[in-house]
Chains A and B, each alone.
Chain A
Amino acid sequence: MHPDFPRPLPGPDDAPFWDWCRRHELRLQRCDDCGTFRFHPRPRCHECRSAAATWTRVAGTGTVASFTVIHPPVLPAFADRVPYNAVVIQLDEGPFMVSNLVGVADADLATGLPVEVTFVDLDDTLTLPQFRVVTA
């Protein structure tokens, strides 16, 4: 990995998300009181303000809500892969997350594409949840 890859350095609120990714499971905080899923992680439910939540496995499926193709200038760690895509995925459970689509040509990017998560191990300690298009 590039020495300046922007590795997550999560705090206590965030670390479980990355720990579960390392085990190839997509888990989000789910409010113990009202059942709302939330992402990005945070210490309170934005709907009912409860502090009680459980890291709950989600299906890992969703749709492309938005996408872009990124050209220079980029972070040094990404310089050798331009142009590359970035997407916003709406998970079937509701929350949105930023990621990348793998295995798709830039010309085929579109909103509404059905996707599923795929875990990409960058090294022994960091796994990124990326997505691929689901073909019927």
Chain B
Amino acid sequence: MRRADTTDPVAGRAAIVGIGETRYAKNMGRTELDLACDAVLAACDDAGYDVADVDGIVSYHIEQVEERELAAALGMRNSSFMARTTSGGGGAASVVGLAAIAVASGQAESVVAFRARNRSKTASYGADPNQGGRPWEKVGAGVSDLRQWHNPFGVAAPAHEMALIARRHMALFGTTAEQFGMQAVAQRFHASRNPAAIMRSEITLDDWRAARPIAEPIRLVDCSLENDGATAILVTTPERARDLRRPPVTVLAQAMGVGPIHVALADYFRTSSSWDERDHAGRHIARQVFGRAGLTPADVDVAMIFDHFTMAVPLSLEQYGFCALGEGGPMIEAGTTRWPDGALPVNTHGGSNGEAFIHGVNHVAEAVRQLRGTSTCQVEGAEVALVTGAITDPAGAVLLGRA
């Protein structure tokens, strides 16, 4: 579904044809490579595509599984394109964006994008700081990078940084902590309908109030889960997609942007008072991704918003243009993001506090299910889905459409 009026060279020239997921769980006791192999093979099987024909590999810059390991394990002798996205969860949607760029420009015919995690809080596997347990806890007795401006004051976990951003939003706009809680409740409801979700039990707003605080106003049930698992997405050309097993999902557009980042709060707050596009990745990305696709936020039927913490959802809704600045909290309170009655259901698989935290690639898989009509919280007739990376990092987004 390439729109006739777009001049973007990538828009509509790549399609998602396969999604693959492992089981999502805590302490699975398997290596990231093992998990990645399962997810990649599942994505190829979903598409009816031979993994030996996959000729591109895209992953996150902090991915533990090296391209050569994956290629060796799966016999991917044809790989000719490799790339990684920036900035942790900021790259969530951009793995698909990079794959689409490679396919649309003819650098590869089929690209697999994946993320594999072994991050349960008690997982002991692996010696790298990015393996097993919480990386921020492994800082040790000295910090030489940006962490020297936070860690000596006890600000170390992403939750601590995000709490300071959330409180600022509350002070500037009157957002309430309970509005974050309402998003937590909505996502846990979505997760309760999803057999793949780790958290299958629904919660109420009273449960949110009773949940222990992690960094006020963020409570435990606002946080992404600490779990293991892997997700893979297979992207190819629209022409090749026509022969495959599943109805293809078109990449309508991709965009990336850099803005103030939560690990440099001095800069985040320096720029956040102006809410200028130059200062906020999401606003920059939104203009690009909607412009390239020839669409507007009103065309989006369902959104997968990167939710390392639930407060990222209202901030993203604002920056991506679904409401005015400061209106993200009231938008959630009005039930807009809750399936089935909300006008823009968000994270219908249960998101990172409900289904699993696979750094947002599982959000891409859910967007594909929505456009295939197979979600467990199906938005009737969904034709356009937005998937975003973390709003507080250099980030990216993709718009996906039913072919």
Across the interface, A6 reaches (CB within 8 A) one of B151, B167, B214, B269, namely B151
Across the interface, A86 reaches (CB within 8 A) one of B141, B144, B154, namely B154
Q: Are B151 and A88 interface neighbours, CB within 8 A?
A: no
List 10 other contacts, CB 8 Å, given A8-B148, A39-B266: A4-B140, A6-B139, A6-B147, A10-B148, A66-B269, A73-B157, A76-B137, A78-B156, A88-B265, A90-B269
Residue A14 is within 8 A (CB to CB) of chain B in the complex: yes
Residue B1 is within 8 A (CB to CB) of chain A in the complex: no
Q: Are B141 and A5 interface neighbours, CB within 8 A?
A: yes
Tell me which residues from 123 to 173 in chain B have a Cβ below 8 Å from any Cβ of chain A. Answer: 134, 136-137, 139-144, 146-157, 160, 163-165, 167-168, 171
Tell me which residues from 68 to 86 in chain A have a Cβ below 8 Å from any Cβ of chain B. Answer: 68-71, 73-76, 78, 81, 83-84, 86
Q: Report chain B residues within 8 Å CB of A66.
A: 164-165, 167-168, 171, 269
Q: Are A68 and B216 interface neighbours, CB within 8 A?
A: yes
Q: A39-B266, A98-B155 are in contact. Are A65 and B149 (CB under 8 A)?
A: no
Q: A9-B144, A68-B163, A68-B164 are in contact. Are A75 and B139 (CB under 8 A)?
A: yes
Q: Report chain B residues within 8 Å CB of A75.
A: 136-137, 139, 151, 154, 156
Q: Report chain B residues within 8 Å CB of A111.
A: 167-168, 171
Tell me which residues from 40 to 96 in chain A have a Cβ below 8 Å from any Cβ of chain B. Answer: 40, 65-71, 73-76, 78, 81, 83-84, 86-88, 90, 94-96
Q: A7-B143, A69-B215, A75-B154 are in contact. Are A40 and B269 (CB under 8 A)?
A: no
Beta-carbon nearest neighbor of B269 in chain A:
A96
Q: Are B143 and A8 interface neighbours, CB within 8 A?
A: yes
**Closest beta carbon of chain A to B206's beta carbon, Å:** 20
